[in-house]
Amino acid sequence: CVSWRDWGPSGRWSPEGCSRVGGDSHHSICACSHFSTFAILTFLQPLPESPALAVVTKVGMSVSLLCLFLAILTFLLCRSLGSLSLTLHLHLSLCLFA
Protein backbone atom coordinates (compact mmCIF):
# COMPACT_ATOMS: atom_id res chain seq x y z
CA CYS A 1 0.00 0.00 0.00
CA VAL A 2 1.61 3.21 -1.19
CA SER A 3 0.73 6.78 -2.13
CA TRP A 4 2.20 9.15 -4.70
CA ARG A 5 4.54 11.79 -3.27
CA ASP A 6 5.96 14.76 -5.15
CA TRP A 7 9.68 15.12 -4.64
CA GLY A 8 10.92 18.25 -6.39
CA PRO A 9 10.36 18.10 -10.15
CA SER A 10 9.43 14.42 -10.06
CA GLY A 11 7.66 12.01 -7.74
CA ARG A 12 7.74 8.48 -6.45
CA TRP A 13 5.60 5.91 -4.66
CA SER A 14 6.03 6.01 -0.90
CA PRO A 15 4.70 3.66 1.79
CA GLU A 16 4.72 6.57 4.27
CA GLY A 17 1.32 6.98 5.92
CA CYS A 18 -0.19 3.83 4.36
CA SER A 19 -0.37 0.29 5.64
CA ARG A 20 -2.05 -2.98 4.75
CA VAL A 21 -4.66 -3.68 7.39
CA GLY A 22 -6.28 -6.81 6.02
CA GLY A 23 -7.14 -9.03 3.12
CA ASP A 24 -6.03 -12.37 1.79
CA SER A 25 -4.03 -13.69 -1.16
CA HIS A 26 -6.56 -12.22 -3.65
CA HIS A 27 -7.61 -8.95 -1.97
CA SER A 28 -5.89 -6.25 0.04
CA ILE A 29 -7.30 -3.66 2.39
CA CYS A 30 -5.20 -0.54 2.82
CA ALA A 31 -5.52 2.30 5.29
CA CYS A 32 -3.87 5.67 4.71
CA SER A 33 -3.71 8.69 6.99
CA HIS A 34 -3.93 11.30 4.18
CA PHE A 35 -5.64 12.05 0.86
CA SER A 36 -3.58 11.42 -2.26
CA THR A 37 -3.27 9.05 -5.21
CA PHE A 38 -3.07 5.50 -3.90
CA ALA A 39 -1.99 2.16 -5.34
CA ILE A 40 -1.10 -1.37 -4.39
CA LEU A 41 2.27 -2.25 -5.87
CA THR A 42 2.69 -5.92 -6.62
CA PHE A 43 6.27 -5.75 -7.91
CA LEU A 44 8.68 -3.47 -6.07
CA GLN A 45 11.93 -4.06 -8.00
CA PRO A 46 12.42 -2.30 -11.36
CA LEU A 47 11.92 -4.50 -14.38
CA PRO A 48 15.01 -5.23 -16.49
CA GLU A 49 15.12 -3.30 -19.75
CA SER A 50 14.38 -5.37 -22.83
CA PRO A 51 16.13 -4.36 -26.07
CA ALA A 52 13.34 -5.98 -28.10
CA LEU A 53 10.70 -3.93 -26.30
CA ALA A 54 12.70 -0.74 -26.93
CA VAL A 55 12.88 -1.52 -30.67
CA VAL A 56 9.16 -2.32 -30.87
CA THR A 57 8.34 0.90 -29.03
CA LYS A 58 10.50 3.06 -31.32
CA VAL A 59 9.24 1.43 -34.51
CA GLY A 60 5.61 1.60 -33.35
CA MET A 61 5.92 5.25 -32.36
CA SER A 62 7.57 6.13 -35.70
CA VAL A 63 4.86 4.38 -37.71
CA SER A 64 2.13 6.03 -35.62
CA LEU A 65 3.60 9.52 -36.09
CA LEU A 66 3.99 8.94 -39.83
CA CYS A 67 0.36 7.83 -40.14
CA LEU A 68 -0.84 10.79 -38.09
CA PHE A 69 1.20 13.14 -40.28
CA LEU A 70 -0.39 11.63 -43.41
CA ALA A 71 -3.85 11.95 -41.84
CA ILE A 72 -3.18 15.62 -41.04
CA LEU A 73 -2.07 16.24 -44.64
CA THR A 74 -5.17 14.49 -45.94
CA PHE A 75 -7.47 16.57 -43.74
CA LEU A 76 -5.69 19.78 -44.77
CA LEU A 77 -5.97 18.92 -48.47
CA CYS A 78 -9.68 18.10 -48.12
CA ARG A 79 -10.54 21.38 -46.37
CA SER A 80 -12.51 22.46 -49.43
CA LEU A 81 -15.28 20.10 -48.29
CA GLY A 82 -15.85 22.39 -45.29
CA SER A 83 -17.25 19.70 -43.01
CA LEU A 84 -17.37 20.13 -39.23
CA SER A 85 -16.45 16.45 -38.86
CA LEU A 86 -13.36 17.01 -41.00
CA THR A 87 -12.26 19.95 -38.81
CA LEU A 88 -12.79 17.92 -35.64
CA HIS A 89 -10.74 15.02 -37.01
CA LEU A 90 -7.98 17.43 -38.07
CA HIS A 91 -7.81 18.92 -34.58
CA LEU A 92 -7.82 15.48 -32.97
CA SER A 93 -4.98 14.35 -35.24
CA LEU A 94 -2.99 17.50 -34.44
CA CYS A 95 -3.43 16.93 -30.70
CA LEU A 96 -2.38 13.28 -30.94
CA PHE A 97 0.64 14.23 -33.06
CA ALA A 98 1.70 16.89 -30.53
In a domain, 79, yes or no: yes
In a domain, 40, yes or no: no
- Together in a domain, 28 and 58: no
- Determine the angle formed by the axes of helices 51-77 and 84-97, rounding to 10 degrees: 150
In a domain, 28, yes or no: yes
Residue 11 gets the label, from left (phi > 0), alpha (psi -120 to 50) or beta, of beta
| pTM exceeds 0.75, yes or no | no
Give per-residue pLDDT as tens, 27-81: 888 888 887 777 777 666 677 888 999 999 999 999 999 999 999 999 999 877 7
- Together in a domain, 61 and 25: no
The per-residue pLDDT for 44 is: 62
In a domain, 61, yes or no: yes
In a domain, 41, yes or no: no
- Together in a domain, 55 and 28: no
Cβ(89)–Cβ(73) below 8 Å: no
pLDDT band at 94 (very low <50, low <70, confident <90, very high): very high
Number of domains, the chain: 2
What is the residue range of 28's domain? 3-32
- Together in a domain, 23 and 55: no
The per-residue pLDDT for 98 is: 93
Cβ(21)–Cβ(30) below 8 Å: yes
**Cα–Cα distance, 30 to 19 (Å, whole number):** 6
